[in-house]
Amino acid sequence: MPDQTATPARPRVSAKAATFTESVIREMTRLALAHDAVNLAQGFPDFACPPQLKEAAKAAIDADVNQYAITWGAAEFRAAVAAKVAGTYPGWSVDPDTEICVTCGSTEAMIAAMLALVDPGDEVIMFEPFYENYGPDAILSGARPKLVRLHAPDWTIDEAELRAAFSDRTRAIVLNTPHNPTGKVLRRAELDLVAELCQRHDALVFTDEIYEHIHYLGPGGHIPPATVPGLEDRTVTINALSKTYAVTGWRVGWTIAPAAYTSAIRKVHDFLTVGAAAPLQAGGVAAMNLPQTYYVDLARQYRERRDLLCAALARTGFTFREPDGAYYVMCDTRALDPAGDDVAFARRLATGIGVATVPGSSFFADPADGRHIIRFGFPKKLTTLEAAARRLARLTPAATPATPG
Ligand SMILES: Cc1ncc(COP(=O)(O)O)c(C=O)c1O
């Protein structure tokens, strides 16, 4: 007879996996689907990618480019990335043979870089509010995330706080410019400060520039940290096709770093994923060859989307700092949600009003810091944003449903 008094075995998971929870953003997407809500939660476009990318990927499949690419990326794609970088940022020269590793999205690029270059016991500085992957990336690498606050409403860096975060345990700092979720774009003076501190403490920079072309500051608005004096030899630049070319499902990204670092990243990447999809790297060549006008149009279209959504949010009663870059708006909800429960408020918005957002607490280590914030994303057609605006017009403090739907 089985022993009825024995406690049932609890499935054991690793201590590392137990330290983080499932992404709330994906939960909000599921809620949006279940309630037919306009999904302004997860940051993916609802419009088509440029046809040149599709044609190139289809042609590659038809030409039987269907086996493993070279683990660190097809030569033609790496050459195209290097040429695009040189064309966009004159003076920044990247050797495609030794300084690029093509990865499965910038998501893999960041964790491959950390696993390759960070040791257990190291500290990795990151700004808060944060994009939710960086903390788990550091933890999976055995390192300790060290948070530095971006201060609302303008998301400023307090110089003294940043200086105090650096120590002889610091191995790296994670930058993300333009920034998800705040829309902050790092300015020259801020990058100079980072350069000074990284040199003093011999630290690396992992910089996620997936929104490099999505900003509202005009030409020269985005400064790649790798081009800042003092950071050239200590920067791993992380990027991807996902956002610039509206192909988040393709999972093609890359790192750019000095050869010694790239060689370590390539080894880790090989064991993680072997390589990114070969025919989609051919699509990536077409992306890199798009004319300059593509990027001008991209920024203009995103400005239109931002302005439409921001006007609707202001009419609804949210307060926020208009983003300088990326495609998110962090909103203060105090006027509409005096209870200050971001998760309940976001659920009510999704189920009662029909607009899915991300609760602010998912961007902070201490959920209390995000209780009066929700994040809207606008990588959407104008018609989608107009639909969201119409639904938001129904949201007033009095009209807010009292219970989660
Ligand atoms: C800052 C940031 N980095 C990385 C990613 C994911 O990029 P990828 O699709 O290239 O893995 C996102 C997606 O939202 C993001 O906002």
Q: What is the pLDDT, as a whole number, of residue 1?
A: 52
Report the separation in Å between the CA atom of 303 and the middle of ligand 1, taken as the mean of its atom positions: 20
- Residue 171: name the closest of 132, 225, 113, 228 by CA: 113
Q: What is the pLDDT, as a whole number, of residue 19?
A: 83
Same topology between domain 15-42+293-392 and domain 52-290: no
Considering the entire predicted model, what is its pTM? Answer: 0.94
Q: What is the pLDDT, as a whole number, of residue 399?
A: 47
Peptide bond into 181 cis (omega under 30): yes
Report the separation in Å between the CA atom of 7 and the middle of ligand 1, taken as the mean of its atom positions: 42
Q: What is the pLDDT, as a whole number, of residue 290?
A: 98
Percent over 90 (pLDDT), the chain: 88
Q: What is the pLDDT, as a whole number, of residue 7?
A: 67
* Average pLDDT score, the chain: 94
Q: Given a cut of 70, is residue 400 above it in pLDDT?
A: no
195-224 residue pLDDT tens:
999 999 999 999 999 999 999 999 999 999
83-126 residue pLDDT tens:
999 999 999 999 999 999 999 999 999 999 999 999 999 999 99
User: Between residues 230 and 11, which one has the greater pLDDT?
Assistant: 230
Residue 396 — very low, low, confident or very high, per pLDDT cuts 50/70/90? confident
Residue 337 — very low, low, confident or very high, per pLDDT cuts 50/70/90? very high
Which residues contact ligand 1 via a Cβ below 6 A?
43, 105-107, 131, 176, 180, 208, 210, 240, 242, 248, 253
Residue nearest to atom 1 of ligand 1 (CA): 180
CA atoms in the 13 A half-sphere facing the CB of 69: 24
Q: What mean pLDDT do residues 180-196 have?
A: 98
Lowest mean pLDDT of 14-18, 80-84, 261-265, 296-300, name the range: 14-18
Q: What is the pLDDT, as a whole number, of residue 381?
A: 97
Q: Given a cut of 70, is residue 280 above it in pLDDT?
A: yes
CATH class of this structure's domain 52-290: alpha beta
284-331 residue pLDDT tens:
999 999 999 999 999 999 999 999 999 999 999 999 999 999 999 999
Quick one: which atom of ligand 1 is closest to the CA of 211? 1
- 15-42+293-392 belongs to CATH 1.20.950.20: no
Report the separation in Å between the CA atom of 175 and the middle of ligand 1, taken as the mean of its atom positions: 13
Report the separation in Å between the CA atom of 133 and the middle of ligand 1, taken as the mean of its atom positions: 9
Q: What is the pLDDT, as a whole number, of residue 190?
A: 98
Peptide bond into 153 cis (omega under 30): yes
Long-range contacts: 20-23, Cβ < 8 Å, 24+?
20/135, 20/136, 20/139, 23/132, 23/362
CA atoms in the 13 A half-sphere facing the CB of 41: 28
User: What are the domain boundaries of the chain?
Assistant: 15-42+293-392, 52-290
Return the CA Rg of the chain: 22
Pocket probe mutation, ligand 1, options 243, 252, 269, max atoms within 8 Å of Cβ? 243
Q: Given a cut of 90, is residue 340 above it in pLDDT?
A: yes
Q: What mean pLDDT do residues 13-36 have?
A: 83
